[in-house]
Structure 1
Amino acid sequence: MSDFLDQYRGNGPLRDITVLDFTQMMMGPVATQLLGDMGALVIKVERPVSGEWERSYNPRGRRLHGESPYFLAMNRNKLAMTADLTNADDRAMICDLVKHCDVVVENFRPGVMERLGLGYDALLEHNPRLVYASGSGYGPKGPLIHRPGQDMLLQCMSGLAANSGPADGPPVPVGAPVLDASTAFLLAFSIVSAVHGARANGTPRLVQASLLGTALLIQCQEALVAMNTDLEWQRSEAGIAAPWTDAPYGVYETADGFIAMSMTPRAKLAGIFSLPAAMIDCTDDEWFLKRDEVNLVLKERLKHKPAAQWIDELTEAGMWVAPVQSVSEMVGQEQTAANSYVEEISTPGGNSVRAIGLPVTMSGMDGVNRLPVPYIGEHDAVVRAALRGTGT
């Protein structure tokens, strides 16, 4: 294992991996934060003065301790340095730094790093076993590669949004950036796999992930049906949560709020809600086509009791149900606390905030939250001194 900046590595299984991180926004920073959480040394490279884009992105203009809350959520366990990638001296320094790294990660639009002289082929001259990972909106090829790749846009374009909402309304994208996060998970997994391969075979690896590819993978079931059968999915009038699923499946109103119900065999459903025999005595396809009729019956039954009572009664009866809550409610509950999903993380200036930590435990690994979220260029001197100490 390299002893380069060894004091900043964690105690997890990736502590012998060094990552040079050029990413911004969410996809890339979440991926590199996961690597850092697992022990990797992550060196985040940002533009001087202003830093990466996410530092200026604030919810309704609100900052926490002078920082973007969004940036704080995905940039712990990293060193921060600055470099002007249009400056020849800074690019030379980056090339020297690459010699000490296992991984370079970037999520600029395709072609940007190549134009700067920092693309895959150029950096292999400085590290022939380098893993070079790129994240993009649409993938590295094709007619759309230069378009802006943003989570909500790709949800709508890929078919994800078309799965949600009532039949007489517009498609509804997921409110959270599910594609950014899911692509980050794929990117982190692929980077670790590529490092293993590069070390085993002594050869470099080019890793490429995209929001579009992730969106299609998330819909692998629906896509296979679409490509190989004549079935067409249509959203229900009631806006049931998935256009290919029988009732009950979705969010239902009660006397004082909402509950979610999922995939209950029709015989059990009939017994619990006293559905008429004529309604359930049918083929599977006929039952699917009755979903709006069934949902109207459920809607009438459910409105007479409060949500908590329905949760208790339906759980006891063997149904799959859950309360419908906000994230503000969920992060404060006993189940979240019992698994330590929320942690106190340190921010620039010695303050702290509550944040979602690494939601995975691993025996033999503790102290995951080891490095505070850095301020812009916080470790410039440290990284450059380490480079001078190596003679590169």
Structure 2
Amino acid sequence: MSDSSTRGILEGYRVIDCSIAMAGPFAAQRLGDLGADVIKVEPTAGEWQRFASAGGAAAAGNEINVSFLSLNRNKRSLAVDLKSDAGREVVRELIAGADVFLQNYRPGVAARLGLDYETLSALNPSLVYVSMSGYGEDGPYKDRPGQDLILQAMSGAMLSAGREGEPPTPAGQYLADAVTASTAFEGVLAALLHRERTGEGQLVTVNMLDALTTLQMQELSVYTVGGVPQRRGTEPNAHVYIRAPYGVFATTDGYLALGFADLEKLGEVLDEPTFIGMDAEVHGWTHRDELYATVARHLREDSTQHWLDTLLPAGMWVGPVYGYEDLVNDPQIIHNGTFVEYDHPTEGRVKTPGFPYRFAKTPARIDRGAPLVGEHTGEILAELGVDSERIQQLLNSGAVAQTGAAVPA
């Protein structure tokens, strides 16, 4: 674990994380990375993602599968039955002294549990309440499942790349979830800043469809303001709104990404006389498919490293197409410290992506790995002032659950 001598930028703030899957837990984890005390409220049997891991990677070592491990570091687990009156009362007691409440329940569930904004803000007027959904809190799609691939498809972005007439290609990451998580993270920080200035909490709503749509600020403005239609060509140019050559090209041993090349210089390097005299900003649009095909023919004749060694010195914007093995071992990634390693009590030595930001005085850090189900139930209840007798009663009734630790005396 990291050195705890420095103070986290959100130290002293308490976040109640009642979210599941990826977007909500990822947003809450970011808050924990900055020092917030994040309490993950999950069912007594554990959140479902403890049992369903991406890629079939069921477990990194012993008890916690990879998906849960990757999205729940720097959190404590309170395992509680929210269907029981006693369980709901425990969570309300916790929220009364919290700073942030985060949930991504299906529409209507929060209200049925007595965890809706109106109820909790009456209990704690300074609470920042974050509600995440697929499409919005209301409207014609509010009851639809908000799944990453579906939102990518509806965002319009898939039809900005690839060949006309061929199936669209989804992003190679869980883009909708990740962008929504970052959007929620921004929303929490902004609402906390407002609270610091005014003392009042507020409701923050985030949905996946809006998050992905607003991410395309430039592209969609080209359509809505500039009136340029989204039109794919016969060659797989990497984006409909960027001139050729712009895309991924096969080499003899892999792939190369090339963008925004000066056609005159590229023609000299490739010994392609047809490029000489071409204006990139004119011909790059009017001859997009032809230019792409010509560049592709040349780049297929040599290795990726050859073209990097040739095109980079010529001032071209070019880079290799990495797989994960290449990325993890890249010298810049290593230099940046992009991945972090820490020891987990059940999973051993863990290596995962770290933090996308740097703070000179209040660095992000890992104080604990992902918790076992209810690992901190007794600890959290004791902090609330619940005595050991009541804790034991709650455990005996099944209203809460605990793994691994004794009931605090």
Separation of aligned partners in 2, 1:211 and 1:346: 33
Separation of aligned partners in 1, 2:308 and 2:126: 55
- C-alpha change, 1:354 and 1:219, in structure 2 (3 Å) is same
User: What fraction of aligned residue pairs are identical, expressed as a percent?
Assistant: 33
Pick one of 249, 260, 263 that aligns with 1:263.
260
Residue 47 (structure 1) aligns with: 43
Deviation at 1:127, TM superposition (A): 0.5
CA contact (8 A) 1:346 1:373 kept: no
Residue 252 (structure 1) aligns with: 249
- Matched AA of 1:180: D
Secondary structure of 2:227's counterpart equals: coil
Moved more, 207-216 or 156-165: 156-165
Separation of aligned partners in 2, 1:270 and 1:206: 56
- Matched AA of 2:256: I
Q: Deviations over 1:158-203 (max 9, x none)?
A: 1121123221211111121011111111111110110111232122
- C-alpha change, 1:238 and 1:85, in structure 2 (3 Å) is same
Matched, 1:21 2:17: yes
CA contact (8 A) 2:49 2:68 kept: yes
Alignment of structure 1 residues 85-96 onto 2, 5 Å: 85-96=82-93
- Matched AA of 1:143: P
Secondary structure of 2:312's counterpart equals: helix
- C-alpha change, 1:9 and 1:85, in structure 2 (3 Å) is farther
- C-alpha change, 1:350 and 1:212, in structure 2 (3 Å) is closer
- C-alpha change, 1:10 and 1:146, in structure 2 (3 Å) is farther
Secondary structure of 1:64's counterpart equals: coil
Q: Deviations over 1:284-319 (max 9, x none)?
A: 455313111011111121122111010111000000
Separation of aligned partners in 1, 2:129 and 2:116: 8
Separation of aligned partners in 1, 2:154 and 2:272: 39
Point out where structure 1 has 5 or more consecutive residues left out of the alignment. Answer: 1-7
Moved more, 365-374 or 237-246: 365-374
Question: CA RMSD for the aligned pairs?
Answer: 2.1
CA contact (8 A) 2:13 2:99 kept: yes
Residue 300 (structure 1) aligns with: 297
Matched, 1:34 2:30: yes
- C-alpha change, 1:10 and 1:376, in structure 2 (3 Å) is farther
Point out where structure 2 has 5 or more consecutive residues left out of the alignment. Answer: 391-409
- Matched AA of 1:360: Y
- Matched AA of 1:36: G
Residue 328 (structure 1) aligns with: 325
Q: Deviations over 1:300-357 (max 9, x none)?
A: 2112211101011100000011001112221122221111111123435262221111
Deviation at 1:232, TM superposition (A): 0.9
Separation of aligned partners in 2, 1:143 and 1:10: 48
Deviation at 1:245, TM superposition (A): 1.1
CA contact (8 A) 2:251 2:299 kept: yes
Pick one of 96, 112, 118 that aligns with 1:121.
118
* Higher RCO (CA 8 Å, separation ≥ 6 residues): 2
CA contact (8 A) 2:69 2:369 kept: no
Deviation at 1:247, TM superposition (A): 1.2
TM-score by structure 2 length? Answer: 0.88
CA contact (8 A) 2:50 2:64 kept: yes
Aligned residues: 383
Deviation at 1:61, TM superposition (A): 5.4
Separation of aligned partners in 2, 1:11 and 1:98: 24
Residue 183 (structure 2) aligns with: 186
Secondary structure of 1:12's counterpart equals: coil
Matched, 1:236 2:233: yes
Secondary structure of 1:125's counterpart equals: helix
Secondary structure of 1:92's counterpart equals: helix
Secondary structure of 2:189's counterpart equals: helix
Deviation at 1:122, TM superposition (A): 0.3
Matched, 1:347 2:344: yes
TM-score by structure 1 length? Answer: 0.92
Deviation at 1:279, TM superposition (A): 7.3
Separation of aligned partners in 1, 2:57 and 2:304: 35
